[in-house]
Amino acid sequence: MKYFQIDKSLFETNRTNFKARMKPKSLAVFNSNDIYPISADSTMPFEQHRDIFYLSGVDQEESILVLFPDCPKEKHREILFLKETNEHIAIWEGEKLTKENAFKTSGIKTVYWLQDLEKVMFEIMTQCDTVYINTNEHYRANVETETREDRFTKWLKNKYPAHAVAKSNPILQRLRSVKEPIEIDLIQKACDITEKGFRRILDFVKPGVWEFEIEAEFMHEFLRQRSRKFAYTPIVASGNNANVLHYIENNQQCKAGDLILMDVGAEYANYSSDMTRSVPVSGRFSERQKAVYNAVLRVKNEATKMLVPGTDWAEYHVEVGNIMTSELLSLGLIDKADVQNENPEWPAYKKYFMHGTSHHMGLDTHDYGVLTEPMQANMIFTVEPGIYIPDEGFGIRLEDDVIIQKGGEPFNLMRNIPIEVDEIENIMNS
C-alpha cells in the first residue's frame, strides 16, 4: 500500500457500532475479494472488499473477519483469518501481514492462519444461533460474477443448515453512510490530491493535446501524492464527447474553442473523491459557453444549500429539477410550452439534464446509503448538475463533494479546487 497506516481506532469503532446492531447469539462473517485472472499467469490488480476493510483495515487478499460479540470465549469475539506468510511468499510477492502487524492494523488480538478456519468455525458455530452473511444490495449493483463471499456463504449454509441467517448489508448501509472523523480526513486527503491533479492540468491544457495526455497528467500527480489510482474510470471528454455521460475512451485530440469535461477523482487509502470540471481548451470561454457554465454553477450552488439534515432524497431531486428548469428557460433551451406540456415522469429539463444530482460517497464512489431515509450529519454527497447540448457541440458538468453539517450549509471538501470562470481563465492564462 502507498498510503500511510490508518489509526486502528477507526476500525475498532466501526466494529463496535456493527456489533451493537447484531442479534443476540449471532455471528457475522466478511471475506476479502478475489484476485481475478486475466489469462495465462496474469491477474487484475487486487481491490479489497470495502466491507472487510471498513471493519478491520486489512487490505490483503484471502482474509476473513468473524465477529461474535456474545461468544463465551472472549478471544473469539473478534477473529481474523489470514494467509500465512513465509519466506517464499516474502521473496516472490512481498511479506504478508504477520499476526503482530495485523493487530497494529486492525486492533484485533486473535489472528489465525486460514488452515485453522474450519476447526475454529466448527467450534464457534456450535455456540451461535444466527449467522450474518454479506450480500451486495447497493441500488446500482449488477453483479454477474460469483465472488469469494458468495462461495463462502454457500459453504457455510450447506455445512450449517440449521442456523438462522441474517443480512449484514442493511446494517452496513446505515453505518457506512455516516462518516467517522478519521474517514472524513481520509476523503479530504483524496480531494486534496484531486485538487493537485486539476491544477496541474490547468497549466497543461492547450489546443492540440490529446484527452489521454490529460488523463496521464492526472495519474502522474495522483501517484506522486500516494494515491494508487483513479477512484473510478476517468472521463476526459472534449467537444461533443462531453454529451456522452460515461465517455471513457479519452482518445480524441482537443481542439481550439472546445470545452473539456473532466470527471476525475483520486482514491486514497481506498476512499474516493469525485470531481467534475469543465474548462476551455483555448483558455477562454465563449460568451455562450460562459452563460451555460454559470447556469450549471448556480444550480450546483442552490442544490448544495439543500443538503442539510432531514432532507428527503426524492424531494431534493424534484426541487433541483425546478431550479434547472428556470435556468434552461433563461438560456432559451426550453420554453414555457415545453414545461406546460411536459411528461411528469420525464420533465422538460431532462432533455438537457438527464441524470441525478447527488449520490453518497466514501469507500465506494457510489457509496452505501439508504435513499428512503432522511439525510444526516456527516454523510458525504456529490453535487453534480450538468447541461448537455449536442446541437452546440458541448456539455458542462460541475461536481464537488460535500459533507452535511449538524447545522447550516454543508462543508465543501473541494472548496479549494478552482471552479469560478474568472479563476479558471486566470490560471490557464497566467
On whether both 335 and 411 belong to a single domain, the answer is yes
Q: What is the CATH number of the domain that holds 172?
A: 3.40.350.10
Measured CA to CA, the distance from residue 303 to residue 404 in angstroms comes to 13
- Terminal Cα-to-Cα distance of the chain (whole angstroms): 37
Rounded CA-CA distance 111/120 in Å is 11
Task: Give the C-alpha distances (Å, rounded to integers) separating 416 from 187, 380, 423.
Answer: 14, 17, 11
Q: What is the pTM of this model?
A: 0.96
313 with 221, same domain? yes
- Would you say residue 61 lies in a domain? yes
Q: What is the model's pLDDT at position 142?
A: 84
pLDDT score for 42: 92
Range with the poorest average pLDDT among 70-84, 135-149, 376-390? 135-149
129 and 83 inside one domain: yes
Please state, rounded to an integer, the average pLDDT across all residues of the chain: 96
Are 64 and 80 within 8 A, CB to CB? yes
- Choose one of 149, 176, 203: the last residue of a domain: 176
pLDDT score, position 87: 75
Rg of the chain over CA atoms, in angstroms? 24
Is 321 a member of any domain?
A: yes
Q: Answer whether residue 92 shows pLDDT above 90.
A: no
Do 130 and 196 belong to one domain? Answer: no
Residue 1 lies in a domain: no
Q: What pLDDT score was predicted for residue 86?
A: 77
pLDDT tens digits for 7-66?
A: 999 999 999 999 999 999 999 999 999 999 999 889 999 999 999 999 999 999 999 999
CA-based nearest residue to 102, from 134, 54, 59: 59
pLDDT attached to residue 12? 98
Q: What string of DSSP letters covers 249-310? A: ---SB--TT-EEEEEE-BEETTEE--EEEEEETTSS--HHHHHHHHHHHHHHHHHHHT-STT
Whether the predicted pLDDT of 392 surpasses 80: yes
Domain coverage including residue 315: 181-428
Same domain, 226 and 158: no
Nearest alpha-carbon partner for 61 in 73, 78, 44, 74: 44
Pair (204, 68) in one structural domain: no
Predicted confidence at residue 295, as pLDDT, reads: 98
Examine the pLDDT at 97 and tell me if it is beyond 80.
yes
Residue 2 counted as domain residue: no
CA quadruple 145, 148, 149, 154: dihedral, nearest 10: 90
pLDDT band at 106 (very low <50, low <70, confident <90, very high): very high
Enter the C-alpha cell of residue 361. Answer: 460517497
**Is there a single domain that holds both residue 107 and residue 238?**
no
Are 262 and 124 members of one domain?
A: no
Q: To the nearest whole percent, how much of the chain has pLDDT over 90?
A: 93
Model confidence band, residue 315 (pLDDT cutoffs 50, 70, 90): very high
Q: Is the pLDDT of residue 95 over 90?
A: no
133 and 209 together in one domain:
no
Instruction: List the single range of 60-69, 86-95, 330-339 with lowest mean pLDDT.
Output: 86-95
Task: Kindly state whether residue 289 falls inside one of the protein's structural domains.
Answer: yes
**Domain stop point among 176, 207, 223:** 176
pLDDT value of residue 137: 86
pLDDT > 80? residue 381: yes
Could you give the number of structural domains in the chain? 2
Any idea what the Cα angle at residue 379 is, between residues 375 and 381, rounded to 5°?
90
pLDDT recorded at residue 349: 98
Within this chain, do residues 140 and 202 fall inside the same structural domain, yes or no? no
Domain assignment present for residue 4? The answer is no
Q: Is residue 3 included in any domain, yes or no?
A: no
Paired sense of beta strands 130-133 and 26-31, if any? parallel
Residues 123 and 267 reside in one and the same domain: no
* 67 domain-assigned: yes
> Is the same domain home to 142 and 280?
no
More confident residue, 87 or 240: 240
d(CA 250, CA 354): 22
Average pLDDT over every residue of 305-311 = 98
For residue range 164-197, list pLDDT tens digits in order.
999 999 999 999 999 999 999 999 999 999 999 9
Asked whether residue 94 carries a pLDDT value surpassing 80, the answer given is no
For residue 93, is pLDDT > 90?
no
